[in-house]
Amino acid sequence: MRNRVRVGIVGGTGYTGVELLRLMSSHPGVDVVSITSRAERGMRVDALFPNLRGHVDLAFSAPEEAGLGRCDAVFFATPHGVAMESAPGLLEAGVRVLDLSADFRLRDSVQWERWYRHAHVSPGLLDEVVYGLPEHRREQIRNARLVAVPGCYPTAIQLGFIPLLEAGLIRPDSLIASAASGVSGAGRQANVDNLLTEVADSMKAYSVPGHRHLPEIEQELSAVAGETVQLSFVPHLAPMIRGIHATLFARLTTQDVDLQALFESRYAGEPAVDVMPAGSHPQTRSVRGANLCRLAVHQPQGRDTVVVLSAIDNLVKGAAGQALQAFNIMFGFDESLGLRQVALLP
């Protein structure tokens, strides 16, 4: 175990960047030595994010001035296309990289380019990248140089389906996920669709023909199942700031199984997953600010359809918290270090 790890954050002005800083401020093994932003170069971090006043004594710097090559680990909290440009040089310098964007989540660069409409400039790294979902790939994360931190929708959906696919209890060709996200999932940039007057008192579906997270989810669930998984995924925008609630549907291949016991056994000892008592309905407010996925499994009317309810905070277990959880595994810390915050109520 390391005593102190020098950390840099690239792209520190978005919601995931400030969330990383919030969580790391209580981590006894981390020294955040640089945080980058070209637009806010020279501004104190706590001037932009006053919640960090007294906890973070840094100013934003341009990436080329940040000394990232002298860090032990660098987090990318950037739009897609940024991490793939810088990761090769950092890895060559011995820096371990955790990317919160989508740059390394898909193993097929051609498929990545199709969904993100951007040339992938580091396809040679895709063979070694480790997908950073601890509940599925903990041992690979431990020795990884490059971790692709999962997306928020993929996290909520995969954690709900994994026990069923591992046990071979559902048909992998007809999975359905209907999931709703808070507005912070769209990022911090100015956008008319995200204004309070556009979002409040309303709810809508979007990207029904195909969301960019779909190939990521299918790729990872297929790895779990050992065969091709097909998912119908409909995301929604909900009138809330944080949170994802996913309702998952699948057809059972047998009804002679205790689904509650299956989920409790699969996630026993997992610090970031809470399988709720039978009959429960997890709420997004019960995970707000916490690195936790709450799950409930149902079999309505005892028929052959299983329904899993999954709730996470999209900025924590769906982004920054999950990244810190993977970082802890990589550097030999207790997996929950810096992540023991209780969810906020009301």
Q: List the chain pLDDT tens, one digit each, 346 residues.
A: 457 999 999 998 899 999 999 999 999 999 999 999 988 999 999 999 999 999 999 999 998 888 999 999 999 999 999 999 999 999 999 999 999 999 999 999 999 999 999 999 999 999 999 999 999 999 999 999 999 999 999 999 999 999 999 999 999 998 999 999 999 988 777 788 788 888 999 999 999 999 999 999 999 999 999 999 999 999 999 999 999 999 999 999 998 899 999 999 999 999 999 999 999 999 999 999 999 999 999 999 999 999 999 999 999 999 999 999 999 999 999 999 999 999 999 8
The whole-number pLDDT of residue 1 equals 46
The whole-number pLDDT of residue 192 equals 83
Q: Which of 323, 326, 304 is nearest to 314 (CA)?
A: 323
Q: Where are the alpha helices (DSSP H) in 27-167?
A: 45-48, 83-92, 109-116, 134-142, 152-166
Which of 152, 156, 272, 320 is labelled catalytic? 152
Phi, psi of 147 (to 5 degrees): -120, 130
DSSP-derived secondary structure letter, 11: S
Quick check: pTM over 0.75? yes
Active site residue 293: no
CA–CA distance from 161 to each of 172, 261, 306 (Å)?
10, 15, 10
**Domains contained in the chain, CATH given:** 5-128 (3.40.50.720), 153-313 (3.30.360.10)
The whole-number pLDDT of residue 2 equals 53
Exposure string of 43-59, with b = 16+ CB inside 10 Å and e = fewer, is eebbeebeebeeebebb
CA–CA distance from 160 to each of 20, 54, 266, 332 (Å)?
25, 38, 11, 27
Report the alpha-carbon distance of residue 252 to residue 304 in Å, rounded: 5
